[in-house]
Structure 1
Amino acid sequence: MNAASTSHPLRLSPSFSPDGKELLWGDDKGVEVASTTNPGNCGTVKPRLLIPGGSQPFFSGGVEKPALPVAAFGVSPAAPKHGAAVTFNGGSSHELGGKIKAWAWKFGDGHTAAGAKVSHRFAKAGTYKVTLTVTDAAGQHATVTRKVKIS
Structure 2
Amino acid sequence: MFIDDLRLEYIDAIYEIETMSFSLPWSKDSLIKELDNKNAHYFIALLDGKVVGYIGLWEIIDEGHITNIAIHPNFRGHGFGKILLTSAVDYCKNKNFYGITLEVRVSNTIAINLYESLGFVNCGIRKKFYTDNNEDGIIMWKYFR
- TM-score bracket for this pair, using the shorter chain length: under 0.3
Higher helix residue share: 2
TM-score by length of 1: 0.23
> What is the TM-score when the length of structure 2 is the normalising length?
0.24
Of structures 1 and 2, the larger Rg is shown by 1
Higher strand share: 1
